[in-house]
Amino acid sequence: MDGVRIAVVVVLLQFAEGSLIEIGLVSGNDDAIQVITNNVTGHVGRVHWFGERRGSIFYKAAQISSMQNYNLDLIIAPHPLRGKLVEVISPGLVHEESWLDFYRNHPSSSTAYLSVPHLADHLHHANNVISRLLWKSTRIFSDRENRFDSHRLASELSRLGVKSKLVFVKTDGSNFKFLKHFMDTIGMDKIKHRLRFVLMCSLPLVKQILREAEDWDKYFGKGSLFRHFSQWLLLLPRSSLGVIEGMDLKLDHVAVISRSDRDFAVGQLSQWVVNTMVEVLSRNHTYNRSDATDTFVQIVRKEHDARTMNTMLHTLLWKPHCRKLSQVQRSRYDTSLNDVFPNLKLGLNQRELRTGALEGIPFVKRHERNGKLTFTHASIDLLDHLKSVLNFTYSFTEPADGEWGLPVSGDLNNYTGLLGMLQKEEIDLIANPMGYSGERDYVADFLPFVHESYNGMILRDTQGSSKLSSALTDPFRWQVYAVGGGTLLGVLLLYLAIEWSNPFYQDTTSVAKRLKPAGALDTAAYLFGSALHQGGVHLPVSSSGRILVSFWWLFIIVMTSAYSGNLIASLTVTRKTPPFSSLEDVITDANLKIGLLGGVILHRTIETSNDSKLIGLWEKIVASKEVDNDIFNHNISVHMKKVMTENYAFLNDVSELEVYVKTLCDVYILKEQFLPQQYSLLLQQDSPLTDMFSKEIITVREIGLMEYWLRKWNPKLNDSACPSTEKGAKPIGLEKLAAALLALLVGVLFSGMCLLIELVVKAST
């Protein structure tokens, strides 16, 4: 049937002013050759068939030349790269070499062909999409067959200001690492903004490159570099879409530019040729040989464009249980980043981050229920906030050694605890805020700090509450009593000097009335009695003496009022008297042991410090280690138990120690604090997640969310267990009045002694 149709074409062409277009057809259909040979029209010789099975005509210059010997106007044959897809070639362009080699060696002449290799239809669309995505640079992976199309794309992108680098990959199926050289030449801290790739190669190579990206991401890219930050644009035929979906890729941002393979198959060639020539002859125009050829070529071009411009853009989306390609519905001339890569709006796309944690109140509290490990408190609230904003999940794990992280035997490249797990990439994130140090910064990425604090020391008040004998002296400090005694003595001397030298008492009237100044003993008794709100009979008569006594009373009224108020307060509120107030006091106490958590930054800082005070503190800690093996225990509960039961001081962050002050009785924090510290969450070194986490943590810090979470989990005072912290009025016990009773007893004894002396004196006189 095909041969009959070709014969009809030949007959129709004879009406074009007696001229005939010579057409060469490449086909393996022997039946068609037989039919056209036996045709009765007599014009069979003008249509020339070349069978593919006779030796790959496009790869041998001799056969190409033999086709030229037929004086053909057109050669219609399968494209050498696309199997049965048809190319229309002008024989005048064929030289003494194969057509394929000619095309490879003369890319500038490719426009002379009526059809270009199959990826050419993608180039304009790819160029438009890349410009809309605002890429600054890209790497184009191409195989040998598509190298000229990739050159064209790179040239077009360069004119748009997009820096492109061509990478030609092998097609022999070898296990070649395409991305390794690229990753080795650029640092991880700079590369994440340059992961823009265009793949213009065969489907097996596309699959191999994508798999390599996922493997690299798994073993070298912190599990997230390629997955979340790379953007891939694939140029493929429509038939390959199902293969891309079936790969179950973990890469978030993959888009495919494709088109249907609707080019002409050799089996359909004859029908199309008949239809084309009928269209030529139906225009009621006579053609000479050249015009007929030109018209035929124009129709070929028009038909080719109409059948191959159906270029589509698909993006790979996350669907339940699989990945699916979804067509981008917007116009290709109005494509935005979120259209091509909508997963950019979804953060980390529910990726599970492996999170390390240790109990450290008030930031992290450990819970284990039914064999399941969970954590709560302020740092977990922060993690939940990041989870909701950045769209990820997390799972917890604890270090086997229970440490936070110290160098092993001084090796800064090998850490213990949480920091060691992060360094070995066993976890992605440390949930506990950890103190910054230059050594740690070499093995991890510190996020912006979430908390600032000082380090301090918690001790038990071994002296208990105020002494029984000090109830009457507690209202004032000893300095007040010293100044008060000095004032009393000064006023006494001043009073005696004024009174005894006062001319008032030497006046005739005063002498007649027998007025005279009081003696020293009477004056002292009066002034001291006024301090106890007791009057006296020995009031001065002179004006100067009365003025002095008046201001003395003003002084006494103020002082006694203050004393009375403080006395009431001291009787109703228990007052602690810490045995230590400075580091020197602690260091010089020979019986006191000092400990701290093993594996924390405080341990390393004190050990390596050059400060004389901290050097003395470290020597005290080392001396304590010789008599107590739990000095560097990793469990904070062990240290607090020792504080409550032994003569022991525990070093830690003040914000954590304040929790125990509120929940335990008879403990206090040393007034002197030292070593200010900033605390941050940690990611793996050069983690691609650092930027996105840092931006959100800065926002959290600026709006005060971290302080809110800390207040939320800050424990309340343990009023029921610690009477000293009870609110409101409390009954006064006998121990509070012991000092007053003792003073009364002293007064009774003293008065009795005076009475005895008076009786003795009277009896003797």
Segment among 35-39, 123-127, 436-440, 718-722 with least mean pLDDT: 35-39
Structure tokens at 456: 């301090």
Has residue 490 been placed in a domain?
yes
Cα-based angle 614, 617, 618 (whole degrees, multiple of 5): 90
Of the three residues 288, 323, 346, the one that is the final residue of a domain is 346
Residues forming beta bridges with residue 414, ordered by sequence position: none
736, containing H or E segment: helix 734-764
Structure tokens at 166: 């061509």
> At which residue do the structure tokens 């509960």 appear?
637
287, containing H or E segment: none
Residues forming beta bridges with residue 197, ordered by sequence position: 139, 232
C-alpha span between 711 and 670 (Å, rounded): 22
Q: Is 55 a residue whose pLDDT tops 50? A: no
C-alpha span between 178 and 181 (Å, rounded): 7
Has residue 598 been placed in a domain?
no
Statement to judge: residues 141 and 281 lie in one domain = no
C-alpha span between 640 and 696 (Å, rounded): 36
Has residue 275 been placed in a domain?
yes
Mean pLDDT of 329-344: 65
Of the three residues 550, 572, 594, the one that is the final residue of a domain is 572
Residue 211's alpha-carbon distances to 179, 205, 278, 730, 746, in angstroms, are 11, 10, 51, 75, 95
- What is the three-class DSSP state of 143? coil
Judge contact between 649 and 592, C-beta under 8 A. Answer: yes
Statement to judge: residues 200 and 317 lie in one domain = yes
Statement to judge: residues 184 and 301 lie in one domain = no
- What is the three-class DSSP state of 549? helix
So what's the pLDDT on residue 603?
85
So what's the pLDDT on residue 122?
74
Cα-based angle 210, 212, 216 (whole degrees, multiple of 5): 120
- Which amino acid would we find at residue 478? W
So what's the pLDDT on residue 218?
77
pLDDT class for 43, splitting at 50, 70, 90?
very low
Query: Per residue in 305-322, pLDDT tens?
Result: 555 456 788 898 888 778
DSSP state of 106: -
Residue 233's alpha-carbon distances to 254, 341, 395, 655, in angstroms, are 6, 10, 33, 51
Has residue 680 been placed in a domain?
no
Has residue 611 been placed in a domain?
no
C-alpha span between 376 and 364 (Å, rounded): 6
Structure tokens at 162: 């997009």
CB atoms within 10 A of CB 289: 16
C-alpha span between 180 and 197 (Å, rounded): 14
C-alpha span between 750 and 748 (Å, rounded): 5
Query: Per residue in 81-118, pLDDT tens?
Result: 444 444 444 444 433 333 344 334 444 333 333 333 45
Statement to judge: residues 30 and 153 lie in one domain = no
Has residue 360 been placed in a domain?
no
Residue 255 backbone dihedrals phi, psi, to 5 degrees: -125, 150
So what's the pLDDT on residue 650?
93
Segment among 21-30, 139-148, 490-499, 673-682 with least mean pLDDT: 21-30
Mean pLDDT of 490-515: 79
Statement to judge: residues 180 and 314 lie in one domain = yes
Residue 196 sits in a domain of what CATH number? 3.40.50.2300
Number of separate domains in the chain = 4
Which domain covers residue 492, as residue numbers? 475-572
Q: Is 245 a residue whose pLDDT tops 50? A: yes
Of the three residues 322, 346, 370, the one that is the final residue of a domain is 346
Statement to judge: residues 186 and 223 lie in one domain = yes
C-alpha span between 204 and 214 (Å, rounded): 16
- Which amino acid would we find at residue 327? Q
DSSP code string of 225-285:
IIIII-EEEEE--GGGHHHHHHT----S-EEEEEE---SPBHHHHHHHHHHHHHHHHTT--
So what's the pLDDT on residue 635?
85
Has residue 276 been placed in a domain?
yes
Cα-to-chain-centroid distance, residue 90 = 61
Judge contact between 125 and 257, C-beta under 8 A. Answer: yes
Statement to judge: residues 205 and 276 lie in one domain = no
Statement to judge: residues 40 and 172 lie in one domain = no
Statement to judge: residues 34 and 128 lie in one domain = no
Statement to judge: residues 209 and 329 lie in one domain = yes
Has residue 96 been placed in a domain?
yes
Statement to judge: residues 173 and 203 lie in one domain = yes
Mean pLDDT of 558-577: 77
So what's the pLDDT on residue 307?
54
CB atoms within 10 A of CB 598: 19
Segment among 82-86, 120-124, 375-379, 493-497 with least mean pLDDT: 82-86
So what's the pLDDT on residue 70?
54
Cα-to-chain-centroid distance, residue 303 = 55
pLDDT class for 384, splitting at 50, 70, 90?
very high
Statement to judge: residues 269 and 139 lie in one domain = no
- Which amino acid would we find at residue 623? A
Q: Is 161 a residue whose pLDDT tops 60? A: yes
